Amino acid sequence: MRRVRLATRTSELALAQARAVALALETELGIGAELLPLKTTGDRLRGSLAQQGGKGLFVKEIEEALLEGRADLAVHSAKDLPATLPEGLALVAFPERADARDALVTRERGGTLAALPRGARVGTGSLRRGAQLRALRPDLVVVPLRGNVPTRLRKLEQGGLDALVVACAGLERLGRADRIDERIAPEQMLPAVAQGIVAVEGRCGDPLAAEVAVLSHAQTAAQAVAERALLARLGADCNVPLAGWAEPRGGSLRLRALLLDLDGRRPVRAVAEAPAPRAAELGRQVGERLLRDGGEALLAELRESGT
């Protein structure tokens, strides 16, 4: 059996995602795969990623392994990917998306966002989640968190926090869906761009990259294209509280976008719908509307403040 090397981060979640892609390669294409786990700059850093370089910190070493030929493919959480890829690389497959929603995990089981007591301490590592939490419940105390999903769950269990907000998809892929107390509706908390999507990256022109396209789920690929086109139009990163979700509606996508200040008091929204084949155009269109309706000024303020 032909074998390929899959570069991945070393976290439990990243390895679970890479193993799922490896299994799909074997069952769909008869290709064996070995994992190449790599520690990225983002995994090593402490403190705010937004102030130290943003999303690219989680992919730099992985993409270098691809470009240098030490890996044949790479597996990423698509929401970790910057809008622009290095020359010579492309996203070649998007397996079916998991639940894109955010999850509330409470120390006292069965909690909901609406039922959290005033002053409850809620942990999150995301500016987007923090801003939306402050908009929905300004009485809560938002606590910045770093670390992978199991680390965050341990911090909740050790006390000092009343709840966490993490991705439903991450808990599901780790076999911890039972720990979700509330799947927060997108109407309350709009998901991150490409949340719940796994992206397979390969080298442009590599025959393997063309083969692997069979692993792509058409609807998921269209969602990824629309949401990432929005991200690219805004030139945004994890240093900006941006949400974007392309909801499937028959053969079309309805893309909703939300940009906020850090306190969640100045939301800027945009929405549009288009057939799935026009996903990239849809993302750019919604980005344009967001910029026109106040997003450009808000982005300038966020960047000037060093967020």
Cβ-contact 70, 36 below 8 angstroms: yes
**Which residue among 72, 80, 99, 261 is the active-site one?**
80
80 part of the active site: yes
Q: Give the residue numbers annotated as catalytic, written as ranges.
A: 80
